[in-house]
Structure formats: structure tokens, C-alpha cells
Chain A
Amino acid sequence: MTRTIAIMAGAALILLFATLMLVVMPYTQMAGAPVPDELEAYSEAELRGREIYISQGCVYCHSQQPRDPGFSNADQQRGWGRASVPGDYAYDQPHLMGTMRTGPDLFNIGARQPSETWHYIHLYNPRAVVEDSIMPAYRYLFRVVREPLPSDTVVNIPDPYGPEHGTVVTTREAKDLVAYLKALDHTYPVETLPHKQKGDANGR
């Protein structure tokens, strides 16, 4: 019995040590990271849109973390923006950094594609605006009506991607999601870009 307790205690201690290194220390360091002045907190609609982004699982194909130029320059060349810093995520709960780029990085999609109409068409059927796209269509975030009401936001889907009859209008979910996408704009400057150059082992 003593030996089993020793093994279990040893195993637990090692894990606690790892927790100290990989959870507690980064937390204390990053919690103190300065929040960029120009970073705005999300509005109510943007937060609801963020929940849609989560519930539709956008994170499984889109990252929100342009890479460090010392690591790879291509992200900047594609116009995805400067490398992100911990402060950029001050209002992100949970984080949506993502680890997959089946689709492009969305850290600055609001700045790169400011047109709401484009987003609506793209969400209704990605192939209507991007040839060969393999992104899922989110038609269920829209309604097809015979006669749109004055309060409806009409989306004109180019042929042949629209419905055979009726007009496509947005739902609140689609509007919230696009509001969130447009809020993804981190083009403001930040004080400290981490490890700007390759080989700067000190991370300054």
C-alpha cells in the first residue's frame, strides 16, 4: 500500500510541477499583458455573433493568430496582419485562436473584407463568391420570403446560387455573426511585437 501511495503521490507531484510551469506561470505573465488602447470590447451583437461562430465550429478551419514574421512572412504578405500579442485577446473568452488553416486566418477579416453584403452572400453559399471553396454553406442562417418586409435585410444572391422562388433575407443570427466578423479588426499598432526577428532568443 505504501508503495502504491508513493507512486500515485509522485505522479501527482510531477503533474503539479508541470501545472506550475505551463499554466500558472504563463497565466501570471499574460494576465499582466497591457491591453492595447485601441482594442475595443465587443458589443452585445458582436458577442452574440461570437457565440454563433463558436456554435457553428468556425474555429476548426480558421485560425485567428497571424504568425510572427521571423517565423513565417507569408501571413503578412497575404494581408492577414501583424503577428498577434497576448493583449489582443483581452476580451476573448474562450479564445478562438484555432490550429487549422483549411480556410484563411480571420484575425483581421473585418478590415480585409468590410462589405456586409459580401459576407452575407459568402455565408449563404461560399461558392457564389469564391470559386472552388470547400466551406460549408450556412443557408439555415437565412430565410427565404415571398415578399420581404421593410424591416428585412435583403440579400441578392447571384445566379445560380439563390433559391428558385422568393427572396433571401437575413436572420438575426446571420447579422450577429457578420457583426462579429466585422469586429475582427486588429490593425491598430501595438507596443511590443514579440520576437520580431528570427534568432532573438530573448523574445525582445
Chain B
Amino acid sequence: MPEPVIELTGVCREFPSDPPVRALSDVDLRVEPGDYLAIVGPSGSGKSTLLNILGLLDRPSSGSYRLDGVETTELRDGARTRLRGARIGFVFQSFHLLPHRTVVENVMLAEVYGPHPRRGRRARAEQALEQVGMGHRTGFAPGRLSGGERQRVAIARALMARPALLLCDEPTGNLDSRNTEAILDLFDGLRAQGLTILVITHEDGVSARAGRRVRIGDGLLTEQG
């Protein structure tokens, strides 16, 4: 049996204050390769905290997080950063495209910090853009794209480094229904290619398309059918 992509065991995250705020309490989660998982919950439920921990942007207060079989809680900062760059592709609600760089340059940014060769980088970026149906916009500035197009560029950037996990934080939060539909179709296609996708959302329409749904509330996870 292959190693799970994500394996959370007894993960807690407390924020120091008086009294301490427990954003996640004793969370267990297992995501297998090829899973398409939605984490749903109202704001303040601990969604962002979970995303930050899954994305190696934050450390759990206790518990274990194995990403692709690597125990991450004991890694130092540099190793976590390298693991993050190599294994996780981020898709943000607000896209996070650099406004002064062209579409293809934004996508190429994904390979700047890894051990990737410079040779052929542009070609790979163009290929990733083709994958999301944006091959015709490579030379555009992000400011000239629609929201849906921007998010597709951001997804191309996330795909560029060939991650084990696509981590999406409210990927359709800034999009209208038509663009949302297009992005969700794209996710379906990516999943069909075997990519593991984890979407954090508060929209039921988005979570309905996922294969698995996990509800988070008050720091607790409950699997839904």
C-alpha cells in the first residue's frame, strides 16, 4: 500500500494568549494519493490554521504530520522550506501573482527556488499553462486577465514544480459562478491525472465536487459521507 500523502496524528495547535486559544485539537487526517478532499467549515473554525499546518507554513503545537512519508514536525526551518517548495503547490484565494511580471514569468517563479535546471524552464511553464488552458496568454500582464484566468495562471504555477499535493485556500472565493465552474472543472481534470488535491472552502458548491468532504468546527474534524 502506498504511503499516504498526508498523515496527521493527534495534531493540536494552540495560540498563546490568556486563556490559550486552541485552534485545532487532536486532529487526525489521512489523505491518500489521488484523493480530492474538501475541508469545509465556517470562518473561525480553524480552517486557516489547518491549511497553514498542512502547507508547512506553521508548526503544530503537538502531534505528528507526515507529508509523503516524511515526518515534518521535527524538521528545521530550511528543510521544511525545501519540502514545501518541492511537494506542495499552493493556490490562494487572492491569486498572489506578481503584477509586474508576465504570466509565463509568474509561472516560472515556481522553479526559481528549487533544484530545477534553468534550461527549458520557459517551455515547462508554457506546458503548465497549456495544462490549465492558458497557453494563449503567456505574454500578458496579470492585470489584463480576468479573475478566473488569473486563478488558472496561479494553478499553473502550483503545478509547475510537479507537487505531490495541490493545496487550495478558497480557490474560488474571488470568482463568479461561471469562473468557479471552470476552475472546478480544471480540478476534476487534474484529479483524473492522479494529482492529490485538498481544497479548503466554505462554499458547499465547491465541496460538493470533491470526492471526500471533511467538516471542521471548533478545531475538530468530522468526515462526511
A binds B: no
Could you list which residues of chain B lie within 8 angstroms of chain A, going by C-beta atoms? none
